[in-house]
Amino acid sequence: MKFTPEQYVIADEAQKPYIDTEEIWSFLNNAKPTKERVEEIINKSLNKNRLNMEEVATLIQADEPYQIEMIKNAAKQLKEKVYGKRIVLFAPLYVGNLCMNNCEYCGFKSSNKETVRKTLTKEELISSVEALEENGHKRLILVYGEHKKYSPEYIAETVKTVYGVKTKNGEIRRVNINAAPLSIEGFKTVKEAGI
């Protein structure tokens, strides 16, 4: 997808934050999801063109059943256009459950005093990856709580460790992460680890 800058309150520059909360609410509150506009946005997305914030807000605000059905069908078409008709599964590997947040739905939440807090040692991480490889897994999603201990450097190191584990049954070919939001520099650090 080609980067084409948009005009926003904060300049839309490649790999730089450009989201202004008030501007987002303005787009959401002023969205006009007419049948024609929704179809126009869907066609743009099906051509794999980046949607702007106004277009995304319009799709989010669409509430007519036929519009929702059009959006769902287009999402399915786009998914198949990009990925085909395959399903890819990732085995979750919980690296650590320390967390500073208190999200109501999450077992990692800081107010959950009943849970045992644990971060795998390097040896435990390697042993867990070996067990997953021995069971035929080739793709993992490494899961971390949102905690300062799980810095981009720490995440990158665990990714490198996982990619370095090889058993007679193979190796991990793809690692994804489920972690706290990162800065641009943090994403670059994790990307350099091979993710």
**Chain segment 86-143, per-residue pLDDT in tens:** 888 899 999 999 999 999 988 899 999 999 999 999 999 999 999 999 999 999 999 9
The CATH architecture annotation of domain 91-192 reads 2-Layer Sandwich (3.30)
Query: Judging by DSSP bridges, how do beta strands 170-171 and 166-167 pair with one another?
Result: antiparallel
Domain boundaries, the chain: 21-83, 91-192
Q: CA–CA separation, 157 vs 49, rounded Å? A: 34
End-to-end CA distance of the chain: 19
CA distances from 19 to 94, 120, 172 (A): 31, 35, 35
pLDDT higher at 175 or 16: 175
pLDDT for the residue 2: 64
Q: Please report how the helices 21-30 and 53-61 are oriented relative to each other, as an axis angle in degrees rounded to 10.
A: 50
DSSP β-bridge partners for residue 170:
167
pLDDT for the residue 24: 93
pLDDT for the residue 87: 84
Query: Judging by DSSP bridges, how do beta strands 91-96 and 139-144 pair with one another?
Result: parallel
pLDDT exceeds 90 at position 7 = no
Q: Greatest CA span in the chain, whole angstroms?
A: 58
- pTM here? 0.71
pLDDT for the residue 28: 96
Confidence of residue 3 (pLDDT cuts 50, 70, 90): low
In single-letter form, the type of residue at position 13 comes to: E
Q: What angle do CA 1, 175, 45 make, to 5 degrees?
A: 20
pLDDT exceeds 70 at position 160 = yes
DSSP β-bridge partners for residue 144:
96
Confidence of residue 1 (pLDDT cuts 50, 70, 90): low
How would you class 79 by CB atoms within 10 Å of its CB: exposed for 0-12, middle for 13-18, buried for 19 or more?
A: exposed
Query: DSSP strand E in the chain: where?
Result: 91-96, 139-144, 166-167, 170-171, 174-178
